[in-house]
Structure 1
């Protein structure tokens, strides 16, 4: 119902014309009476819209998002769920049985992870990176607040996608330069985004495989933002070891991600999001708990390992460490 309301334009219509009757809603959306009734019954029963005195309005939660300009983020996330996540959801049980991302079979192409498969599907790739950009807009306040870049001159953003994390950090840290490293499907989008924000002189974009290719030299901080949830513990250990080798003495590593509780009972967001991570991105994707990141960082030689919780409705946080 939420997806249908988004795609049909129901919520902007009710924001512009609150109190519209079912007939007026149908006319505005180009729907016949029966589907209009079906849509409005569903959205109202779910609390997405309200019905009083014969007229329909948006629920206050939705109306607030339309007023503050964040509704486009919600629309992007709903589109991501509908276009990429939901088609693979029926494979969740089998993914649990086989201990691998069975849902990837829904996407034709080469490669054993979602990101390589997306290179064969330009429209889905654009949708994916657009939605990851919107998701990062929601979580990046935690990254900006908790990532201490004092004394840092240049950050390597490993698997930096469309550059959203580097852009946010560059805007908050004007004396720091950045390099975004990612696959071909992402770097073209990243270059465009960086140029649009006038940051091409401070943010470089490099095409490469984060496992197979050498990391560009000259960085005193390596950032893994929403990246290590994708890979297995062994792969994450390898990535962190690679960062350790690339950094000079005193260099810093930052891991930014959604994190689960070590108690094993939450948060609910992490538990539910793990359906997606188990089914689709890569063979061993999962939302790890704080202690696992700390263990891997210590194992490969980092010291001064510390956790920085975001304390927001999303369970994001930063784990920092230093190369001695």
Structure 2
């Protein structure tokens, strides 16, 4: 769809697009895809397993079939191969966590106009929530996304000769895991809030890397970063902060790096005009309703922040990543 090529039909399809979204979220929340990967079931049989009303479930199953996520033969529904791969909890490629994270964000997006009027968040910051279900969907949702993107990033970053990586705000440690798998001589520290520890340690153990990846808890805004490193990975943490918070994070990352150390910053990066790409522009609104000062940043802004923190040789890596994401690399001066 061209920027100026709108039709009334396009507009109404966009306006009502949440119907499909809500149907998907309901299917994931009810976990109806998992039993349907085991074999086709009638609506009454599935309703009995899920504890749902048969009439309501039949409508949802038919909608998900119309969307192409289920198949129907006679009175029986079954999961498609795609749904079996990505929507069944038994699949190693399950994406339900990030879908449930999106579901938990919807209530705040319904109040977007309030956030625009006030300039203030309308929900608690997800990374600091005490709600266990919301916390799990956020942490494991970040795992879902990183598992999709890390293989497109890590093989293209040369860490030869580097021995110690700081995964700052690393959540479950997915990137630390991929970097260590790619670089056998590398060890890593995942530094994040204490509530992240169970998710990180479980994930690190799952990949058999507990002997090379350590979790340390702390708040990198108010606390100091212990240890020395020769590479730091900062993935999607700057957007939760305003310019002042970003300056603190980058300054502390620089202080934790040895001379010649490398920092890698991944963000959803806006054009310098800030009116595109689409996903980073929308993501800025997600930060508006969920943080006190966060936003998506442009490449020019990120470059200036890194320079102000004392980094040099700043450049964006030539990577094609989804949703306007990009990775900017810089180094600490060797003579500091």
Deviations along 1:88-140, one digit per CA (max 9) or x if unpaired, are: 22222222222222222xxxxxxxx4433x2x334433332122222221222
Alignment check: 8 A CA contact 2:72 2:78 kept: yes
Change (3 A) 1:196 1:16: closer
Tell me what 1:151 maps to. 161
In structure 2, what is the Cα distance between the partners aligned to 1:239 and 1:290?
17
Tell me what 1:85 maps to. 105
Shift of 1:209: 1.5
- The alignment status of 1:206 with 2:219, answered yes or no, reads no
- The alignment status of 1:115 with 2:127, answered yes or no, reads yes
Tell me what 2:305 maps to. 296
Alignment check: 8 A CA contact 1:155 1:177 kept: yes
Shift of 1:44: 3.4
Shift of 1:316: 2.4
Q: Cα RMSD (Å) of the superposition?
A: 2.9
Alignment check: 8 A CA contact 2:127 2:138 kept: no
Secondary structure of the residue aligned to 2:171 is: coil
Higher relative contact order (CA 8 A, sep 6+): 1
Secondary structure of the residue aligned to 1:141 is: helix
Change (3 A) 1:145 1:293: farther
In structure 2, what is the Cα distance between the partners aligned to 1:191 and 1:171?
16
Tell me what 2:17 maps to. none
Tell me what 2:315 maps to. 306
- The alignment status of 1:4 with 2:26, answered yes or no, reads yes
In structure 2, what is the Cα distance between the partners aligned to 1:165 and 1:275?
26
Alignment check: 8 A CA contact 1:267 1:315 kept: yes
Change (3 A) 1:88 1:153: same
Change (3 A) 1:86 1:254: same
In structure 1, what is the Cα distance between the partners aligned to 2:65 and 2:82?
13
Q: Structure 1: where are the runs of 5+ without partners?
A: 105-112
Shift of 1:180: 1.4
In structure 1, what is the Cα distance between the partners aligned to 2:75 and 2:135?
43
Q: Structure 2: where are the runs of 5+ without partners?
A: 1-22
Alignment check: 8 A CA contact 1:142 1:317 kept: no
- The alignment status of 1:103 with 2:112, answered yes or no, reads no
Tell me what 1:285 maps to. 294
- Number of residue pairs matched? 311
Tell me what 2:137 maps to. 127
Query: Equivalent residues in 2 for 1:15-94 (5 A)?
Result: 15-18=37-40, 22=43, 26=47, 29=50, 31-51=52-72, 56-58=77-79, 61-63=82-84, 65=86, 73-82=94-103, 84-94=104-114
Secondary structure of the residue aligned to 2:225 is: coil
Alignment check: 8 A CA contact 1:259 1:315 kept: yes
In structure 2, what is the Cα distance between the partners aligned to 1:149 and 1:266?
32
- The alignment status of 1:139 with 2:149, answered yes or no, reads yes
In structure 1, what is the Cα distance between the partners aligned to 2:205 and 2:74?
50
Secondary structure of the residue aligned to 1:157 is: strand
Secondary structure of the residue aligned to 1:266 is: coil
